[in-house]
Amino acid sequence: MNMQSKAAENTVDVAIVGAGPAGLTAAYLLSKKGYSVTVIEKDPKYVGGISRTVEHDGFRFDIGGHRFFSKSQEVVDLWNEILPDDFIQRPRMSRIYYEGKFYSYPLRAFEALWNLGIWRSTLCMLSYGKAKVFPNKNVKSFEDWTVNQFGYKLYSIFFKTYTEKVWGMPCDEMSADWAAQRIKGLSLWNAVTDGLKRSLGLNKKPNDGQEVKTLLETFRYPRLGPGMMWDAAKAHVEAKGNQVLMGHSLKQLAQDANGDWRVSATSAAGETVLTAKHVISSAPMRELATRIHPLPKSMPEAQDLNYRDFLTVAIMIKSDDLFPDNWIYIHDDRVQVGRVQNFRSWSPEMVPDENIACVGLEYFCFENDGLWSSSDEDLVELAKKEMAILGLCKTEDVVGGVVVRQEKAYPVYDDAYERNVATMRNDLESRFPTLHMVGRNGMHRYNNQDHAMMTAMLTVENIEAGTRKWNVWNVNEDAEYHEAGDEGAQRAIAEDISEDRAAALESMRDVPTRIEEAAEGKSRKAA
């Protein structure tokens, strides 16, 4: 294994930046294998990153909502190993909320038309008919594709508002490819004919014109929220004699003449310096570049990477649970909120008072815009006002509120991101074989939690092997993991790799791309 002895507290085998799912997975596995590890985490209280659970007066809040499901048994086994006795099984339910009514998600067209009423449904069908008779022959955008499929009326009700809230760009600037990936198998005409057959008792099959795969009916969830998993991982790391330094911000990374890393981090107590053979970074790529000394050649590309942020405004309401869903999607341009979580539906233990409902309103924004810069008090008032506008509760029934900010929640996939990430990756990996980027922000990838974990798992294997045996950049990208190297090496891996490990890739996170980027990608493939 060729590990360093732990002669001094500031000398470790591996320094890890960030205590999210990727960073703590790496720390847990390395500690288990006997490596000395120190994790640097800037949050003074919570581990888990976007998967943390924030606590306030006994109430617990899941930041973004995290269902524990993976097609990889390897990931599931690791979850069970870290947290063996605290998973509960929960019903899965999420719906769309529009003008006081709930609609199934994924959308069931016949139900939608029924809820909209005769007049509006008629307009929707006329709009649908127009789109079919006079389709847009030059489909480029998300809007073009969706209008062609459903007509402008249904598009404007069920697709436009929420999509633009989440991604912060107009639907007519998003690539049509993303719509085709996200909205599959829904036929409006089949849904209508199916509904008529049902009314006549001629069709009892549970289809409703929707030919998509059935979503999970239930999912597993830590009884005290996802942060419970990462608190347990942190405890395991510390039980092995390793450190997780909370409230420490990365200041600088520099290599000495021997190739060892000097890692400095600052806290309220001062500066901590580590010496390490390897560094694993789950920090945002843009921030990582500014910490490397001397500054990398790819600094301009790193600074051109962008991120989407969001706020969760949790409010406590004198009421039974307002709705049974894990969350509801808000399709209403009268309000800024995009999604509302019901924390008790995730786990009853998240809400300590059975007479109080606790919900989290999610606002998607960019750091330092009007929403992000608002005071916590103003944001709580906004949440109360918008819940009243939506008719979900009365403002006088709200008995408390708190704001949780999540910076850099979603890497932005603008027309330059792919080129920027590739340039930075090639620059850093060629210069620093012992610097490893992992996780969502560490790789500027819209990874699921299990994807982030898998990048860490493969990185640990690379460190053990002393070479980049696995190409972690293929996680959440291709149909299987590939070993770095020539074609022969890839064929060998195709035989050695488990089907389970390859299955982790099948739960890919689709992201919208801009029209310009999609066009560029097609031209590159054609060339």
Residue 7 pLDDT: 32
Which residue has tokens 């949780």?
A: 404
Interacting residues of 377 by C-beta distance below 8 A, sequence separation 6+: none
What angle, rounded to 10 degrees, do the helices at 73-82 and 227-239 form? 70
Residue 235 pLDDT: 98
Burial of 423 (0-12, 13-18, 19+ CB in 10 A): middle
Residue 519 pLDDT: 54
Domains and CATH numbers, the chain: 11-88+223-303+415-507 (3.50.50.60), 107-199 (no CATH), 307-411 (3.90.660.20)
Burial of 407 (0-12, 13-18, 19+ CB in 10 A): middle
C-beta atoms surrounding 157 within 10 Å: 21
Burial of 247 (0-12, 13-18, 19+ CB in 10 A): middle
Interacting residues of 85 by C-beta distance below 8 A, sequence separation 6+: none
Residue 204 pLDDT: 52
pTM: 0.84
Q: What is the 3-state secondary structure (H, E, C) of 85-136?
A: CCEEEEECCEEEEECCEEEECCCCHHHHHHHHCHHHHHHHHHHHHHHHHCCC
Tokens of 117: 């009423």
Residue 208 pLDDT: 42
DSSP state letter for 233 = H
Q: Which residues, in sequence order, are bridge partners of residue 330?
A: 97
| 463 sits in which H/E element | helix 449-465
Residue 209 pLDDT: 39
Cα distances (Å, whole numbers) of residue 273 to 30, 81, 248, 265, 270: 20, 32, 11, 6, 10
pLDDT values of the chain reduced to their tens digit, one per residue, 527 residues: 444 433 335 899 999 999 999 999 999 999 999 999 999 999 999 999 999 999 999 999 999 889 888 878 889 999 999 999 999 999 988 899 998 889 887 667 778 778 888 999 899 889 999 999 999 999 988 899 999 988 999 899 888 998 888 888 899 988 887 777 666 555 555 555 554 454 445 555 544 434 433 345 788 999 999 999 999 999 999 999 999 999 999 999 999 999 999 999 999 999 999 999 999 999 999 999 999 999 999 999 999 999 999 999 999 999 888 889 999 999 998 999 999 999 999 999 999 999 999 999 999 999 888 899 999 999 999 999 999 999 999 999 999 999 999 999 888 877 788 899 999 999 999 999 999 999 999 999 888 898 899 999 999 999 999 999 888 888 865 333 333 443 223 333 333 556 666 655 454 566 777 776 555 555 444 44
